[in-house]
Structure 1
Amino acid sequence: MTITTTRDETALDAAEDAARSFLEALGIRCDSPGTERSPRRMAEAYAAMLTPRPFEMTTFPNDEGYDELVVVRSIPVQSLCEHHLLPFVGVAHVGYLPGGRILGLSKFARVVEMFARRPQVQERLTRQVADWIDMELEPRGVGVVVEAEHLCMSMRGVRAGGTVTTTSALSGLVRDSPATRAEFLAAVRP
């Protein structure tokens, strides 16, 4: 499976025009040397934040019959809160109990990015990563934990900087076996 998403120049031009109107409506002038290119930069920045890099899914037969937990920790997460379109940033920890196939390790970060590069809520992001791995690999169990700081909470509203939200999604033996669940949760803690 190959995942691709692109934005064309016409879409960026339209986003630039909209960004200019938005900034000017808030009283921000876009005609000084420091701000004349701000609408384009803003359009390009949001396009980058909302576009995952293309990748080709790489799985391999589990020829050796590996049946222990595989955990990839501290995968960077950068997304946009769908309510305020402000970033939330943090890390994801992803683990699974292999079945008949194993996943190329770099693909864990790609899958997290694929679901993070869109307006999102952390709870859904966590579940989507777990469900996707479950569907694509058919493992014996999956665990995903996401820890993130939401700028919509730290820069506006309550202004509680440094607050971290933790979400988890568990399935199969990672959810149902107390020992495996404990092993996964211990593995994702520093």
Structure 2
Amino acid sequence: MNGHAALHSLLSNEQKRVDYPRLLELGRELLIAIGEDPDREGLLDTPRRWADSWREFVEYDPGSTETCFSSASTDQMVCVSGMRVFSMCEHHLMPFWCDVAIGYIACDKVLGLSKFARIAHQFAHKLQLQERIGHEIADEITRITGSPDVAVVLKGEHMCMTARGIRTPGVMTSSVMRGVFRSESEARLEFLRLIE
């Protein structure tokens, strides 16, 4: 890991610490605020489980995301699809999931296969917008591989729409197209066909 990557990893980890004792208190206060008795049998461990789930979500560590290998050939399109990540809507603090597809044109190196999922999860584990996840994934793929030609498509279902408000299921699709994926319809269509 180079110096920039190590600093990036260190800063990311420093920003992802929760105040666990305060979360425990808030879990108990939340139960009281919604008219429940936190001392009844079924709820005794709920504040701890709630605090644990937030800590697990926020302090998620994707592990190494920077493993690359020499490319056998340049100008080759690389696509990985079917990755599902879970996140939390920053507007309602409700969960959403996204199926993620990532593509890029390889330059002199290719990204290790498992790193695609690690990168996608890395940006899902915070209060988020689906559109922002796509941009952050694209930025990271470019940073690691050096390729300016990156495409990301996310298809997600948001509980803030399906479980409250309009209460209607629906899939939101968002995309980020950069480099040849934006400028050349043939490359964009090939990527979209490959991820179908």
**Same fold? TM cut 0.5:** yes
CA-CA distance at 1:26 after TM superposition: 1.3
Q: Which shows bigger deviation, 79-88 or 26-35?
A: 26-35
Distance 1:19 1:92 in 2: 32
Alignment of 1:187 onto 2:171: no
Equivalent AA in structure 1 for residue 70 of structure 2: P
Contact map agreement 2:83 2:117 (CA 8 A) in 1: yes
Distance 1:137 1:111 in 2: 12
Per-residue CA deviation, residues 73-132 of structure 1 (Å, 9 max, x unaligned), is: 111110000011110013100111101221001000000011000000001111110111
Alignment of 1:29 onto 2:29: no
Contact map agreement 2:94 2:160 (CA 8 A) in 1: yes
The structure with the greater share of residues assigned to helix is 2
CA-CA distance at 1:61 after TM superposition: 2.4
Per-residue CA deviation, residues 118-167 of structure 1 (Å, 9 max, x unaligned), is: 00000111111011111221115111000110001100001012x11000
> What is the aligned counterpart of 1:100 among 100, 108, 117?
108
Equivalent AA in structure 2 for residue 90 of structure 1: C
With structure 2 as the length reference, what TM-score do the two structures score? 0.88
Equivalent AA in structure 2 for residue 52 of structure 1: Y
- Which residue pairs with 2:137 in the alignment? 129
- Which residue pairs with 1:12 in the alignment? 20
Alignment of 1:61 onto 2:61: no
Distance 2:98 2:107 in 1: 29
Moved over 4 A (4+): none
Contact map agreement 1:24 1:30 (CA 8 A) in 2: yes
What is the count of residue pairs matched by the alignment?
A: 185
Contact map agreement 2:62 2:121 (CA 8 A) in 1: no
Distance 1:151 1:28 in 2: 23
Distance 2:152 2:49 in 1: 34
Alignment of 1:167 onto 2:174: yes
Distance 1:65 1:188 in 2: 21
Distance 1:106 1:123 in 2: 22
Alignment of 1:42 onto 2:50: yes
Contact map agreement 1:99 1:140 (CA 8 A) in 2: no
With structure 1 as the length reference, what TM-score do the two structures score? 0.91
> What is the aligned counterpart of 2:159 among 151, 154, 159?
151
Equivalent AA in structure 2 for residue 95 of structure 1: G
CA-CA distance at 1:23 after TM superposition: 1.9
Q: Percent identity?
A: 35
What is the alpha-carbon root mean square deviation over aligned residues? 1.6
Distance 1:29 1:188 in 2: 49
Distance 1:122 1:51 in 2: 19
Contact map agreement 1:98 1:140 (CA 8 A) in 2: no
